[in-house]
Structure 1
Amino acid sequence: MKRWGRRLRHLAVGVLDIPQDVVLEVPRITMIGQLQMYIENHRGVLHFTESELRLLLTNGQLIVYGEQLVIRAILPEELLLEGRIGGVKYLQPQ
Structure 2
Amino acid sequence: MKRWSRRLRQLAGGVLDLPQDVVLEVPRITMIGHLQMYIENHRGVLHFSEKELRLLLTNGQMIVSGEQLVIRAILPEEVLLEGRIGGVKFLETGPQSS
TM class by smaller structure: over 0.9
Which residues in structure 2 correspond to 1:6-85 (within 5 Å)?
6-85=6-85
Q: Percent identity?
A: 85
Q: Aligned partners of 2:39 and 2:9: how far apart in 1?
A: 22
Question: Mean alpha-carbon deviation: is it higher for 36-45 or for 11-20?
Answer: 11-20
Amino acid of the structure 2 residue aligned with 1:92: E
How does the TM-score come out when normalised to structure 1? 0.97
For 2:5, give the aligned amino acid.
G
- Give the match's secondary structure for 2:10: helix
Q: Structure 2 length as normaliser, TM-score?
A: 0.93
Amino acid at match of 1:14: G
Question: How many angstroms apart in 2 are the aligned matches of 1:69 and 1:37?
Answer: 10
Give aligned pairs, total. 94
Shift of 1:61: 0.2
Distance 1:2 1:37 in 2: 31
5+ residue gaps, structure 1:
none
CA RMSD in angstroms comes to 0.8
